[in-house]
Structure 1
């Protein structure tokens, strides 16, 4: 593999001049820069971007911070597709991903601190938003570059990418009513009140109110199971489910009712489980790409990514 010394020797310049030319230092003439770059291309030179960044006190890594996740929790298809989008956007920038997942907030914060102090990671994408989150508070306090994925939840003006989840909730409910003839859809939520869950539920309620229909919600943290709830509410003839993982957990009980379903994320898992359904594709790969673009564009505060409906 060619080195900077090989390039300098071939181009008949000093090593320092070759290095500056490859980095487009304005002190080096255009002619010399072009000559050195031609030699570098000829020799197949691959710059060590990690070493270059370390000289500036940071690594060429972007930290991906997952929400608190139990050791036995299944992988979230939405997060996997986010990572695919992020990876494709980082590749031409010569950055790599490093991931932190922890079962509690304390361990998650310690892991992020270690990434900063030991691995010199200064750029982060946070896969969640949460009120009084100690991780984003740490990133703010240390003036680190980060973007959150989701609507910020408190007074801090964090930079973010997101879908318009209220609009998605409205569209999902309206589509279920208009295309399936549903008269009384039920909204299923987890009871954890993640911001995107709150927004999708708000969209459902807005749509129901606009059509003068009663909004009915079942939450996973209720004492009554979904099958018993549906038996007690025979007027329910359709379901809006806030998340594909929740629907996956309830699928066995719901199959007996054979109701049309609107479910968010459009993962491959949902494609196998849902028959009479509409899938709201939140385009996580595009969200991931948008997050990377925003991370390295300090002039922009936020970006919204559109959603699509498939039935």
Structure 2
């Protein structure tokens, strides 16, 4: 296996010079740097990142903790984070906390291993246990969360309220729907809480009554969308439209409609939230709220890298970034005025 000593021997320079050249040290001449990189490429040399970080007592690995890595939402978030970290010569390590395990356990394990130079974590809410763990970590971190009420942390969030409010207004004012059901996310999730509040507020302002059985709680999965849409479609008084709090549950609504032999939007209309990539290719294409997921990942990564490079830790003021939403009108709704 090629190593740094072999590169130094072939380039006829010291091991220290090779190390500096590989780390783009300005003290190394361009001629020497090109020679070292050429030999390293010929030998297919790959530096041991862990060993390098240990020696330098720094790390160019950014951890990204997600509750799941199979959902398309998370794929787009990863893409956004990785694009920015790559530009700044950082590596992205994606870590799944798994939906049904404690986020705190994953976070404790990650923070103890010493591999990370920074951390981005997507959390459903910021609870006491999480606050306690974060208060003890010395590495920079950024939180992606719907709740921006805390003033203690850097937080990147989608404008959940405006997005859900605008969608509900569109369904009532533009389409003319009056029987509107909502499949929310989990009640402990900040994004879900904000979206259902906006939905209720918009309905109240427009004089739309929401029966209790038109409000059902899901968990942001496609499976929940199928199950809850079936419940809504089996009601004696059925909704005219289902507003799913994310696109994955909206996909489940499509599955339920197909099982019932119903046509979208003629028999039942469906809208979502997120605008994941596949939503435009459904039949019919899904009307949804664009949450600019990739941009959310980019903003979180930019904020974290800026924080890592900042030398004013004592004077640092936590930042709050809210990502604007946009209605994406497709063919899963229609005017019934």
- Give the shorter-chain TM-score range: 0.7 to 0.9
RMSD over equivalenced CA pairs, Å: 3.5
Match of 1:305 in 2: 323
1:50-87 deviation digits (Å, cap 9, x = unpaired) = 244332334432222223x6xxxx93221122112222
Paired residue total: 297
- Counterpart of 2:270 in structure 1 is 261
Q: 2:228 & 2:47 partners in 1: Cα distance?
A: 56
In structure 1, C-alpha distance between the alignment counterparts of 2:86 and 2:32, rounded to whole Å: 24
Specify the SS of the correspondent of 1:240: strand
Supply the distance in 1 between the matched residues of 2:228 and 2:291 (Cα, whole angstroms). Answer: 28
Structure 1 range deviating more: 88-97 or 46-55: 46-55
Which residue does 1:289 correspond to in 2? 298
Q: 2:251 aligns with which of 248, 252, 260?
A: 248
Q: CA deviation at 1:274?
A: 5.4
Q: Does residue 95 in structure 1 map to residue 91 in structure 2?
A: yes
Q: 1:218 aligns with which of 190, 211, 215?
A: 215
Superposed CA deviations along residues 165-211 of structure 1, whole A, max 9, x for unmatched, are: 00001111122234433234222214434111111112222322332
SS at match of 2:163: helix
Q: Distance in 1 between matches of 2:60 and 2:323?
A: 26
What residue in structure 2 maps to residue 128 of structure 1? 123
What is the CA distance between 1:109 and its match in structure 2?
3.2
| TM-score w.r.t. length of structure 2 | 0.72
Q: Distance in 2 between matches of 1:49 and 1:57?
A: 14
Alignment of 1:1-311 (within 5 A): 3=4, 6=7, 10=11, 15-16=15-16, 19-20=19-20, 28=27, 33-41=29-37, 43=39, 48=47, 50=49, 51-67=51-67, 75-92=70-87, 93-102=89-98, 104-106=100-102, 108-132=103-127, 134-135=129-130, 137-152=132-147, 155=150, 157-216=152-211, 217-220=214-217, 226-227=229-230, 229=232, 231-234=235-238, 236-254=239-257, 256=260, 258-271=267-280, 273=282, 275=284, 277-298=286-307, 301-310=319-328, 311=330
Q: How far is 1:156 from its partner? A: 5.6
Cα shift readout 1:5-49 (whole Å, capped 9, x = no counterpart) = 746985x865545645765768x4xxx544543444554667838
Asked whether the equivalents of residues 189 and 197 of structure 1 are also in contact (C-alpha less than 8 Å), the reply is yes
Compute the displacement of 1:309 (Å): 2.5
Change (3 A) 1:227 1:24: closer
Unaligned segments of structure 1, at least 5 residues: none
Shift of residue 293 of structure 1?
0.9
Contact 2:148 2:157 in 1 (8 A): no
Question: 2-side partners of 1:267 and 1:158: how far apart?
Answer: 27
Structure 1 stretch displaced more, 201-210 or 282-291: 201-210
**SS at 1:214 equivalent:** coil
Query: In structure 2, do the counterparts of structure 1 residues 293 and 214 end up closer, same or farther at CA, with 3 Å as the change threshold?
Result: same
Say whether the 8 Å CA contact 1:218–1:226 is kept in structure 2: no
Higher alpha-carbon deviation: 119-128 or 210-219: 210-219
Secondary structure class of the residue paired with 1:187:
strand
Structure 2 runs not aligned, ≥5 long: 219-226, 308-315, 331-337
Check the 8 A contact 1:49/1:60 in 2, yes or no: no
Are the counterparts in 1 of residues 183 and 245 from structure 2 also a CA contact under 8 Å? Answer: yes
User: 2 CA distance for matches of 1:243 and 1:168?
Assistant: 11
